[in-house]
Amino acid sequence: MLTPEITKRLRSTAVEILSVNDKGNYTVPTEGLYPFQWNWDSCLTAIGMSNVNEERGWTEIETLFDHQWPNGMVPHIIFHEKNAGYFPGPEVWATQRPTPTSGITQPAVAGFALQKLYQRSERPDAVKTRATALVQAIDRWHQWFYQYRDPDDQALVAVLHPWETGRDNSVDWDSAFERVPTDGVGSYQRRDLDHADASMRPTGEQYDRYIWLVQHFRSLGWSNQSLHDNSPFRIVDPGFNAILIRSCEALAEVAESLGEDAIAQRNHDFSARGRLALGSLWSDAHEQYVCYDRANASLVDSASIGGLLPVFALDDGAQVKKLARRIDSLCDRVKYNVPSHDPDDARFDSKRYWRGPIWLIVNYMLVDGLRRHGHNELVQRLVSSSLGLISENGMAEYFDPVTGGACGGKNFTWTAAMVLEFLRDDVAS
């Protein structure tokens, strides 16, 4: 139970973390480990920021979109400043952008974030021009997804690198990753291990494969026409698609209220078709959605949190109910919630990044979807577990669902942003 004193302390710590990681017009996820701007971190952070400084929330997203590629892609990292403490840096990506960026993308949560900011704005007329500019930019990104990552028009997009999913070392990628070679990668020095415990990070072999893919895409000149078909890693992730589908819906609604009718129509269509197509990823065996490996045409046998994220996007109450049951069952099996992988799977690892640990941003998206469908008890369960975890262990990058212990980087921006969200009455109740 949170007392008013604890609530006050959590709020002020969260505000402090946002300010420490604030570089003026963008935030870094945390000093040291991640010293640049990350795509979905910034969008989720902007939502949390809107509780303390609406203006700053808008600039967070605008800065990200200032670095959108001419083809519509929004990169996963913007290297605003030089910093030798991160690998792989701009020289490895070699994308030839005016401000260096990576060459891959990340979950498209911007449309959803924009809608939150717009709905909450105290001065909707004053932000109309900025909102319209962002609507147009986000629409170009959504079009890029369906053009280049869904070449056969299946209404589901593929990710070409685990880093695109935001769930870097999930069990979901293991089988496809075995097909990614490591020869010719050369030697390099990982910098993440200077800042975080090796037992909580991806393994050396996984890292070689991450880097092989980057080098491969670079050798293809980052050309979107070639990347999809030439990548040995081509996965349709239900979580990634659910986030995109929800953002298309959110963008359509904002576009409608701004009189951007063509954009509204296009994004309504993307989301309606995407929802239908998600059905092909359902697994009766796991009672949830699973990934589809497009490079070898098979479903992936892995029950991760990505397959529960469709609660964020679905409008079918019966499907959401099944997922709610499954989330509840995961919660029954660990002390803190929600684990990012099924604890009964032998591949579950309570400390290693996305193979078991809890991430508050995921809890937030689950809570949002569950609330829309009236699963209020489960919402309460997730919100109080999230806030309990934070009040005992601080605003870390992720948490061990068995012990509740803090893992990865400390003083994490998007964790702090989500705390501000969970403290709102309209999210927690």
Residues that bind ligand GLC (CB under 6 A): 29, 34, 38, 40-41, 166, 168
What is the Cα–Cα distance from 360 to 343, expressed in whole angstroms? Answer: 18
Nearest CA among 91, 37, 86, 73 for reference residue 214? 91
Q: Which of 249, 397, 400, 421 is catalytic?
A: 397
In the complex, minimum distance from the CB of residue 166 to ligand GLC, in angstroms, rounded to a whole number:
3
Distances from the Cα of 15 to the Cα of 10, 226, 390, angstroms: 9, 44, 14
Nearest CA among 147, 162, 150, 167 for reference residue 69? 147
Which CB, 168 or 172, lies closer to ligand GLC?
Answer: 168
Which CB, 310 or 357, lies closer to ligand GLC?
Answer: 357
**CA 87 to chain centroid:** 20
Which CB, 118 or 354, lies closer to ligand GLC?
Answer: 354
Q: Rounded to 5 degrees, what angle do the CA atoms 219, 105, 124 make?
A: 150
Which CB, 41 or 342, lies closer to ligand GLC?
Answer: 41
In the complex, minimum distance from the CB of residue 169 to ligand GLC, in angstroms, rounded to a whole number:
8
Which CB, 204 or 279, lies closer to ligand GLC?
Answer: 204
The answer to whether 378 touches 429, Cβ cutoff 8 Å, is no
CA dihedral 368, 370, 373, 375 (to 10 degrees): -130
CB atoms within 10 A of CB 29: 23
Largest Cα span, the chain? 57
In the complex, minimum distance from the CB of residue 29 to ligand GLC, in angstroms, rounded to a whole number:
4
In the complex, minimum distance from the CB of residue 165 to ligand GLC, in angstroms, rounded to a whole number:
8
Which CB, 38 or 148, lies closer to ligand GLC?
Answer: 38
Q: Which of 41, 60, 150, 168 is catalytic?
A: 168
In the complex, minimum distance from the CB of residue 38 to ligand GLC, in angstroms, rounded to a whole number:
4
What are the percentages of helix, strand and coil residues in the chain, rounded to 5?
Answer: 55, 5, 40
The answer to whether 428 touches 385, Cβ cutoff 8 Å, is no
In the complex, minimum distance from the CB of residue 34 to ligand GLC, in angstroms, rounded to a whole number:
5
What is the Cα–Cα distance from 40 to 22, expressed in whole angstroms? Answer: 16
The answer to whether 217 touches 103, Cβ cutoff 8 Å, is yes
For this structure, is 168 an active site residue?
A: yes
Residues designated as active site? 168, 397
